[in-house]
């Protein structure tokens, strides 16, 4: 009996499994890349700007001054 066809089929099965696995890994990497890009755009769109931080800082300073005035009484 010739063993060459058996080895060929076994090799094809192994290579098919490896190819299927690699395709899944590549598809997952592509999905992750797309989600990361969407997240970067969302962060850039909704990120707090310097002017917003200045407004928050002024508000906190005003509250702190009021609390200091209350504590002095």
In this prediction the pTM is 0.55
Q: What is the pLDDT of residue 63?
A: 92
Record the tokens describing residue 49, joined without a space.
């700007």
d(CA 43, CA 40): 5
Cα–Cα distances (Å) from 3 to 9, 10, 45, in that order, read 10, 11, 63
Proportion of the chain above pLDDT 90, given as a percent: 62
Q: What is the mean pLDDT of residues 45-67?
A: 84
d(CA 38, CA 34): 6
- Report, in this order, helix, strand and coil percent for the chain, each rounded to 5: 90, 0, 10
pLDDT of 72 above 80: no
Q: What is the pLDDT of residue 71?
A: 66
Task: Tell me the pLDDT of the chain averaged across its residues.
Answer: 89
Q: What is the mean pLDDT of residues 24-28?
A: 97
């Amino acid at each position: 009996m010739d063993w060459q066809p058996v080895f060929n089929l076994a090799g094809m099965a192994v290579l098919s499994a490896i190819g299927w696995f690699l395709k899944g890994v590549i598809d997952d990497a592509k999905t992750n890349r797309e989600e990361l890009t969407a997240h970067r755009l969302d962060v850039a769109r909704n990120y707090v700007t310097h002017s917003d931080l200045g407004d928050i800082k002024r508000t906190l300073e005003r509250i702190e001054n009021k609390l200091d005035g209350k504590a002095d009484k």
